[in-house]
A = this chain, B = another copy of it.
Amino acid sequence: MSNIEPREIKCYGIKFKRASSALTKYYDSMLKPVNLTVSQFSLLNDIKYIKTCNKTQLAKYAKLDRTTIIRNLNVLLEKGLVEEIEGETNRNNLIQLTKLGNLTIEQGYVLWKQAQKNIRETIGEENLGLFLKTLEDIEKLT
């Protein structure tokens, strides 16, 4: 099959999407030994930080849609990394890490740290500050 000559992609949105996808895959591959994606690892860390909370609070904190959080949490619940403490009504339920969840974070942290270091070097220490600032400016678009 003949390959088609690539053209210069000009859309910053698409360029960004591709880089984001590559970056996610990289973190995911590094976290493979603990069977976590970077999204899952990040959400676990959020829960660790806020200790116990309801799902709406967690969504606000993680800056994700509430229904996204519900679905992502279901994966973590099934893995036994998170538990839901039933209140009097659904409204009063709280979620928190299990022992396994805490242990998995600890194990994952070592792997994440290495990924983080490698990415920092890929971006370049000297450019890091400006780069992260730009990411924040873009995030503010929403």
Q: Name A residues whose Cβ lies closer than 8 Å to a Cβ of B.
A: 1, 3-4, 6-7, 10-27, 38-39, 41-42, 49-50, 53-54, 56-57, 60-61, 63, 112, 115-116, 119-120, 122-124, 127, 130-132, 134-142
Contact = CB atoms under 8 A, between A and B. Distances in A.
Nearest to A24: B13
Contact of A141 (B22, B49, B131, B140): B22
Contacts of A12: 23, 116, 119-120, 123, 132
For chain A, what secondary structure do more than half of its interface residues adopt (helix, strand, loop), or is it mixed?
A: helix
Complex copy number for this chain: 2
Given A13-B27, A25-B142, A137 B116 contact: no
Contacts of A4: 50, 53, 57, 60-61
Contacts of A53: 4
28 contacts: A1-B54, A1-B57, A3-B60, A4-B57, A7-B49, A11-B116, A12-B123, A13-B23, A13-B24, A14-B38, A14-B39, A16-B135, A17-B39, A18-B135, A19-B135, A20-B20, A21-B142, A22-B138, A22-B141, A23-B138, A25-B142, A119-B138, A122-B137, A122-B138, A123-B134, A124-B134, A130-B130, A131-B134
A137 B41 CA distance: 24
A96 B65 CA distance: 36
